[in-house]
Amino acid sequence: MSVLVYTETENGSFKKNAWEVASYGAQLAKAMGTDAVAVAVNAADASPLGKYGIARVLQVSEPRLETFNARAVASLLEQAAAHTGARVVVVSSSADAKFAAPLLAGALQAGYAPNVVGLPDSTQPLVVRRTVFSNKGFAHTELQGERAIIGVSNNAFGMVEAEGAATAEAFTPEFGEGTFATKAVSVDKATDKIAIADADIVVSGGRGLKGPENWGMVEELAEVLGAATACSKPVSDMGWRPHSEHVGQTGKPVASNLYIAIGISGAIQHLAGVNASKVKVVINNDPEAPFFKAADYGVVGDAFEVVPELIEKLKDFKAQNA
Amino acid sequence: MKILVCISNVPDTTSKINFTADNTAFDTNGVQFVINPNDEFGLTRAMWMKEKQGAAVHVVTVGGPGVEPTMRKALAIGADEAIRVDATPTDGLFVARQLAEVVKSGGYDLVIAGRESIDYNGGMVPGMLAAMLGMNFVNTCIGLEVDGTSAKAVREIDGGKETLETSLPLVIGGQKGLVEESDLRIPNMRGIMMARQKKLTVVPAAEATQGTADKTFDKPAPKGQVKLVDPANIGELVELLHKEAKVI
Ligand SMILES: Cc1cc2nc3c(=O)[nH]c(=O)nc-3n(C[C@H](O)[C@H](O)[C@H](O)COP(=O)(O)OP(=O)(O)OC[C@H]3O[C@@H](n4cnc5c(N)ncnc54)[C@H](O)[C@@H]3O)c2cc1C
Ligand SMILES: Nc1ncnc2c1ncn2[C@@H]1O[C@H](COP(=O)(O)O)[C@@H](O)[C@H]1O
């Protein structure tokens, strides 16, 4: 009757979202009066999970999982759930987790609640609050049936530190025929850039920046802040920036601590995708731009003057606080 | 090649979202419904495969009679036939089971669904369907080429993209990138006329259980006033972000 937590790794190290789901799983297990068991694939050292309340880790070593494979991960989680008698499986909101979780749900015939923003309203029945309608609302969703999957929203729950160390035990799942039939042949990932999904701060530019040649200051601002860069939909549609930077209802969702919108009007579809960010700053020369109604801080001014000035002030700030 | 495009019927992206007085349901009053944007990219990719590779393209929606105008729009864009499974789409597991029956009885090789529906943001139906049928699956798919029974797909990952090799039968969860925004087609008069003649079959729902139930809804707390900073005094913004918002 335990809680199973899928803690993601990359090149042998845990991703930041692993600490978040570990914290969530441990707190959930406490509320349910049971233990949280983590599953880690090819982790060099699983003991740090103890710091987030995990006592037991099923450690899978599998060379074929050096690159992520959704079907294999779904299969090993299914086997781990059977092994531990788990009632609930907790996963993150990463692209990989959102790839594997529905496969697991289909195999287990389990209900799956994605984008969950906090611990359950109740554990019997199990009811969770999750975002729906692209952050325009929340649903309180009951997870029925014997097994359930909870997908925790990025950056919504945070990390809860606890005492203790995790003990790891080897877990060797068996993979049926066809498990690796879909396989990654190449990965194209900018290693020098911060991914929007992982970023604490996102700096985003819109059509107000006039053209791709003006993105230098956006990138510089992002660099000073250690932020990811993003853009509005028309900016990616016009090819000023890559599609992977398009955020909003039909692009990537953003749930960062800080979102800075430069020359973005704040159309409903844009806001729907970025509203989950905790603090929003808007820089726009039109005081009537709808984004000001959704923002915490605003500067009514010309981006071409405000942004360079902001970069300077941030550099001063960093120098003083270094 | 037989392609099934799964279409969910969702509120237009400009919709204001309200819930009924007792907060137990989405209030559809005054809401316009459209083809889920992620599905529209998939449908357009399927049209390309129809024109270039001779694929047959059917569309399916699990829903009541009210979804038929959206299905007619898909037919007007160029799908050959439509199937409506007559049931209220209560949750992902239930919908996936319904679609699984349609895929089995229709013998489809390729199922194109969307990454997520923009209403309940489930992002689960295509993967569940693939698992139920033992079909290959690629999610957040931004590129798809099919050659015979082999397929090459590009998937968006956090911070980049990944190219995958797979084979039919295959389910994808697609999104923008499958085709470009500028490739999307607005149905023309001829398409709309032809759509009226096309077959729209209604099939009864299969026996299926639900995994989840949305009990109540609430809305985000109203936003406080924006704090404006004078562009002549940007240092204040840095100060506020550090001391007040504590985000830098
Ligand atoms: C089905 C559908 C889905 C959509 N999905 C998305 C989505 O996911 N994401 C998304 O972003 N959009 C989406 N859109 C598009 C959305 O409706 C808007 O068109 C878009 O967000 C506008 O982008 P923008 O703010 O960059 O441009 P604009 O609306 O043109 O705004 C530019 C802003 O820049 C300001 N500006 C101009 N010059 C300066 C200057 N020198 N300094 C400072 N500010 C300046 C202007 O005042 C203006 O407010 C969608 C639309 C549809 C129909
Ligand atoms: N009621 C439905 N009928 C047909 N297809 C659906 C339905 N609901 C979801 N889908 C498909 O599954 C995708 C993901 O939806 P969801 O899992 O609900 O976010 C959608 O983009 C559709 O392709």
The tens digit of pLDDT for each residue in A116-153 reads 999 999 999 999 999 999 999 999 999 999 999 999 99
Banded pLDDT at A225 (limits 50, 70, 90): very high
CA-based nearest distance A136→chain B, Å:
6
Which residues are paired to A58 by β-bridges? A39, A169
Structure tokens at A5: 């937590």
Can you give the residue ranges of every domain in chain A?
A: 2-170, 196-320
Is the per-residue pLDDT at A34 higher than 90? Answer: yes
Decide if A2-170 and A196-320 have a common fold. Answer: yes
Is the per-residue pLDDT at A1 higher than 80? Answer: no
- Residue whose C-alpha is closest to residue A62's, from A38, A90, A40, A37: A40
Q: Which CATH number fits domain A2-170: 3.30.160.100, 3.10.180.10, 3.40.640.10, 3.40.50.620?
A: 3.40.50.620
How many angstroms separate the alpha carbon of residue A47 from the centre of ligand 1? 46
CA-based nearest distance A232→chain B, Å:
14
Residue having the nearest C-alpha atom to atom 1 of ligand 2 = B62
The tens digit of pLDDT for each residue in B46-74 reads 999 999 999 999 999 999 999 999 999 99
Tell me the C-alpha distance between A82 and A87, whole Å: 9
Banded pLDDT at A163 (limits 50, 70, 90): confident
* Res A298: pLDDT: 98
Structure tokens at B106: 């229709």
Tell me which chain A residue has its CA closest to the CA of residue B223. Answer: A294
Q: How far is CA B61 from the centre of its chain?
A: 11
The fraction of chain A above a pLDDT of 90, given in percent, is 96
The tens digit of pLDDT for each residue in B183-202 reads 999 999 999 999 999 999 99
Interface test with B, best of A20, A87, A103 (most B CBs within 10 A): A103
Place of tokens 């949750």: B91
The tens digit of pLDDT for each residue in B109-161 reads 999 999 999 999 999 999 999 999 999 999 999 999 999 999 999 999 999 99
Banded pLDDT at A165 (limits 50, 70, 90): confident
Computed over every residue of chain A, the mean pLDDT equals 96
Does the domain made of B2-220 have the CATH classification 3.40.50.620?
yes
Is the per-residue pLDDT at A105 higher than 80? Answer: yes
Tell me the C-alpha distance between A221 and B177, whole Å: 28
Tally of CB atoms within 10 A around B207: 6
- Residue whose C-alpha is closest to residue B40's, from B62, B2, B12: B12
Tell me the C-alpha distance between A56 and A41, whole Å: 14
Best residue for ligand 1 mutational test, from B10, B12, B13, B121 (most atoms within 8 Å of Cβ):
B13
Structure tokens at A217: 């200051």
* Res A307: pLDDT: 98
* Res B234: pLDDT: 98
Tell me the C-alpha distance between B34 and B178, whole Å: 19
Average pLDDT over residues A243-252: 95
Tell me which chain B residue has its CA closest to the CA of residue A182. Answer: B166
Contact A106, B130 (CB under 8 A): yes
Half-sphere exposure of A17 (CA within 13 A, CB side): 28
* Res A234: pLDDT: 97
Weakest mean pLDDT among A130-134, B159-163, B210-214, B219-223: B219-223
Atom of ligand 2 nearest to the CA of B36: 21
Contact A173, A79 (CB under 8 A): yes
Residues lining ligand 1, Cβ inside 6 A: A 206-208, 232-235, 248-251, 263-265, 267, 269-270, 273, 283-286, 289, 302-304; B 13, 37
Which residues are paired to A204 by β-bridges? A230, A261
Computed over every residue of chain B, the mean pLDDT equals 97
Is the Cβ pair A297, B241 closer than 8 Å? yes
Tell me the pTM: 0.96
How many angstroms separate the alpha carbon of residue B88 from the centre of ligand 2? 12
Is the per-residue pLDDT at A54 higher than 80? Answer: yes
Banded pLDDT at A164 (limits 50, 70, 90): confident
Q: Would you say the ipTM is above 0.90? A: yes
Whether B184 contacts chain A with CB within 8 A: no
- Residue whose C-alpha is closest to residue A166's, from A59, A81, A51: A51
Place of tokens 């729907």: A272
CA-based nearest distance A314→chain B, Å:
7
CATH code of domain A196-320: 3.40.50.1220
